[in-house]
A = this chain, B = another copy of it.
Amino acid sequence: MKFCSQCGSPVSWQTPSGDHRPRFVCSSCSTVHYQNPKIVAGCLPLWRGQVLLCRRAIEPRRGFWTLPGGFMENDETMEQAAVRETLEEACVRVEGLELYTLFDLPHIHQVHVFFRARLVDTNFAAGEESLEVGLFHEAEIPWPELAFPTVGHTLEYFFEDRVRQLYPVRNEPLAPLIALSRRTPWNNFDR
């Protein structure tokens, strides 16, 4: 950020009076420009024991497999965002969404939220942001080719929880070092 979005004057990086941390402040109209974390919402779409994954057609991580998901927009709920992203990336509808995993990613100013969901049918197809879309049994998951650590963790938790048929909501931070120190197959490629 270099200019004030209200008046167009240059901004400076300073701690406003009464505040505890530096912000972008307008040199002319004094507007304080707050910057806050963004929510990425996605689905773990299920069909008869299989999980739907999308192979990304766009950067970052083009060519790698992901659960459908993306940035939550204004005017929608997290659940609506997850449904919309699944429709956009896999051209298919989901229902029965249940909040499942929430990962804090403070180093990139994001929170990733995934919902377990049922596919309404198997008429999926690659959306504009996907190269291909497919259903995978647990043994078929392409662990070394997953796009993001939060996708890998969500899948790991799911297969673990499925044994007991209990799916507690999970919230945990995922810092770069934590991700690297976990010896899970899907993040080998991340080193």
Residues of A within 8 A of B (CB): 1-11, 18, 20-21, 33-39, 71-80, 88, 99, 102, 104, 106-107, 109, 111, 128, 168-169, 171, 173
For A10, list chain B residues within 8 Å (CB).
8
CA distance in complex: A37, B77 (Å):
9
Chain B contacts for A107, CB-based, 8 A: 75
Instruction: Choose among B5, B72, B75 the residue that contacts A1 (Cβ–Cβ < 8 A).
Output: B5
Residues on B with C-beta less than 8 A from A18 are 128
| Given A8-B9, A77-B173, A80-B106: 7 more A-B contacts, CB < 8 Å | A3-B8, A5-B5, A5-B33, A36-B39, A36-B72, A36-B73, A169-B169
Complex interface: chain B residues within 8 A of A35 (CB): 74
The residue in chain B whose Cβ has the minimal distance to the Cβ of A34 is B71
What chain B residues lie within 8 Å of A3 (beta carbons)?
Answer: 3-8
On whether the beta carbons of A36 and B78 are closer than 8 Å, the reply is no
Smallest Cβ-Cβ distance to A173: which chain B residue:
B77
What are 8 A-B pairs at a CB distance below 8 A?
Answer: A3-B4, A3-B7, A5-B5, A5-B33, A8-B10, A21-B73, A35-B74, A36-B72
By a CB distance below 8 angstroms, the chain B residues around A80 are: 106
Report chain B residues within 8 Å CB of A38. 36
Q: Contact between A109 and B74 (Cβ–Cβ < 8 Å)?
A: yes
